Structure 1
Amino acid sequence: MTQISALCIYCGASQNVDPRHLEKAGELGRVTAEKSIDLVYGGGHSGMMGAAADGALSAGGRVIGIIPEHLRAREAAHTGVTEMVVVDSMHVRKQMMFERADAFCILPGGLGTLDETFEIITWKQLGLHDKPVILLNLFGFWEPLLEMVQRQIDGGYLHEDPAYLFSLADDIEGVFTAIASAAAAKVKPDSSRL
């Protein structure tokens, strides 16, 4: 059984998305705070990022935003978070988000979300960490990705079923069930190898 103190979320910053996704992001933030788990995220004020942060803050949670200087104005950094860390690059942002979190939850998002998702799953595949990674499959959003993974398996590009690399949750409670049922992390990440 895994217990965590900080959950990193990867998600989109666009406001022009399914309102149900925004609502669920807010719910995830709120539930995270209610479970006394810190929320680590990309630092934005809008879209699912902002909704999750606002949800956690509304429930008295601790929210840590990590944003690169070049995105601080563009993504409108959230001014109400508990801690805002401004870094000099996307690479440093992703590294710091990784270091500050005990588990990862991927919500719907765009190319940046996919970049973060593939990186954290690949690091796990390479044995650089064994922290829980959960895809929150809101209203079937991640089904095409799962189909692509199956094509990779069928085509011989993945030598084994990558089910051990990530879990799938269809709702908010499923995220925390998946985290709780994950094996306790044994790999001590060496950040110099990442």
Structure 2
Amino acid sequence: MAAICVFCASSRTLDQRWLDLAAATGAELARRGHTLVSGGGCVGMMGALVDGARAAGGRTVGVIPQALVDLEVADLASDELVVTDSMASRKIVMIEKSDAFLTLPGGLGTLDELFEVWTTATLALHRKPMVLVDTDGFYAPLLDWLRALTDQTFLKPAGFDLLRLVDTVPAALDTIESQLP
């Protein structure tokens, strides 16, 4: 099956529903036979994500910069843990190791990762599926703003359409699986 990279929050102060969503995502990835590629952390949604994948028998690959390893937030239980020298090189490795990308709710780091893979896709530097899970309208304000960028021609409609929008994790994985070779 595929190596699917999941972007999500690593905050330790999130509502339980977001942690549950992440754990369910990891479990569903594993049930479908996919390898989980993550940011290599063990806290917040990222920690729940990898725990969910492993609990369901899945393989996990973490990619984390040394600075976060030094803060003792690395997922040392990963089947493969790649330590990079920076956040920028972390994104490069995550893109290289992944066949597709799934974005859950998150903050600045999550958006940074999403925009990196989306931008590189618009430049045809990769053709990997990208899906945004808009649970409970979490991303609605951002999507409205992005649609306005498209209306003003700052973002081409074809570029906007590279990112698939869904509201559930099963729909996200169905979308990814339908786009894989």
Give TM-score scaled by structure 1 length.
0.88
Which secondary structure does the structure 2 equivalent of 1:146 belong to? helix
The alpha carbon displacement at 1:163 in A equals 4.0
The alpha carbon displacement at 1:183 in A equals 6.1
Could you tell me which residue of structure 2 aligns to residue 190 of structure 1?
A: none
The number of equivalent residue pairs is: 181
The alpha carbon displacement at 1:79 in A equals 2.0
Q: State the one-letter code of the partner of 2:101.
A: F
| Segment drifting more, 21-30 vs 65-74 | 65-74
Structure 2 Cα separation of the partners of residues 74 and 110 of structure 1: 19
Structure 2 Cα separation of the partners of residues 150 and 164 of structure 1: 10
Relative to structure 1, the CA distance from residue 71 to residue 137 in structure 2 (aligned partners, 3 Å threshold; closer, same or farther) is: same
- Between the two proteins, what is the percent identity of the paired residues? 43
In the alignment, structure 1 residue 175 sits paired with structure 2 residue 169: no
Which residue, 5, 16, 19 being the options, matches 2:16? 19
Could you tell me which residue of structure 2 aligns to residue 104 of structure 1?
A: 101
Could you tell me which residue of structure 1 aligns to residue 136 of structure 2?
A: 139
The alpha carbon displacement at 1:156 in A equals 2.3
Structure 2 Cα separation of the partners of residues 57 and 183 of structure 1: 23
On the 8 A contact 2:150/2:160 being kept in 1, the answer is: no
Could you tell me which residue of structure 2 aligns to residue 120 of structure 1?
A: 117
Structure 2 Cα separation of the partners of residues 156 and 166 of structure 1: 17
- If asked which structure has higher relative contact order (CA below 8 Å, sep 6+), I would say 1
Deviations along 1:55-94, one digit per CA (max 9) or x if unpaired, are 0010111001110001113361112221111111112111
* Structure 2: gaps of 5 or more residues: none
Give TM-score scaled by structure 2 length.
0.94
4+ residue runs of structure 1 moved beyond 3 angstroms?
A: none
Give the RMSD, CA atoms, in angstroms: 1.4
Q: State the one-letter code of the partner of 2:175.
A: A
* Structure 1: gaps of 5 or more residues: 185-194
Which residue, 36, 56, 60 being the options, matches 2:57? 60
Q: Output aligned runs, 1:3-42, within 5 Å.
A: 4-42=1-39
Relative to structure 1, the CA distance from residue 164 to residue 23 in structure 2 (aligned partners, 3 Å threshold; closer, same or farther) is: same
Structure 2 Cα separation of the partners of residues 99 and 173 of structure 1: 24
The alpha carbon displacement at 1:36 in A equals 1.2
On the 8 A contact 2:37/2:98 being kept in 1, the answer is: yes
